[in-house]
């Protein structure tokens, strides 16, 4: 794979990441609920939709990154995606239970894992990945 191809992969990953920003902001707003405050059904719906959209973009970016990655890096990406999906499920469950304090913790974890996966995807797709130093 040429350097230009790898740069194109990074651009695609960045496009996926940019499409996630409105959803990340929604989740950050929902995380501002006071602990003990009842969540509205709209907030629960937003958590389901936003985590689903972010997960879908991360998976699509993972496909792009995986195409450029070594088998070991592709496996690592898949493990990261699984962790992100589990964090999304935890956030959805906390929202469904109406536990705003627990939801805040799960949304924070989801956001940290989302940020980490973008970093990993760009790293394994980068122009210098796989080249001797």
Over its length of 133 residues, how does the chain's per-residue pLDDT go in tens digits? Answer: 677 777 787 888 899 999 999 999 999 999 987 777 788 899 999 999 999 999 999 999 888 777 767 888 888 889 999 999 999 999 999 999 988 899 999 999 999 999 999 998 888 876 655 444 3
Model confidence, pTM: 0.87
CATH architecture of the domain with range 3-125 = Up-down Bundle (1.20)
Domain residues of the chain, as ranges? 3-125
Strands in the chain per DSSP E? none
- Return d(Cα 133, Cα 61) in angstroms, integer: 26
Looking at residue 17, its pLDDT comes to: 93
């Amino acid at each position: 794979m040429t350097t230009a191809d790898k740069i194109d992969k990074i651009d695609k990953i960045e496009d996926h990441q940019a499409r996630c920003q409105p959803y990340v902001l929604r989740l950050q707003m929902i995380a501002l609920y006071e602990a003990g405050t009842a969540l509205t059904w709209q907030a629960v719906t937003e958590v389901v939709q936003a985590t689903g959209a972010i997960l879908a973009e991360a998976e699509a970016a993972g496909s792009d990154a995986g195409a450029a990655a070594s088998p070991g890096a592709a496996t690592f990406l898949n493990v990261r995606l699984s962790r992100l999906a589990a964090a999304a499920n935890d956030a959805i469950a906390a929202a469904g239970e109406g536990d705003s304090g627990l939801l805040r913790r799960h949304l924070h974890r989801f956001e940290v894992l989302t940020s980490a996966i973008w970093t990993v995807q760009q790293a394994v797709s980068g122009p210098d990945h796989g080249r001797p130093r």
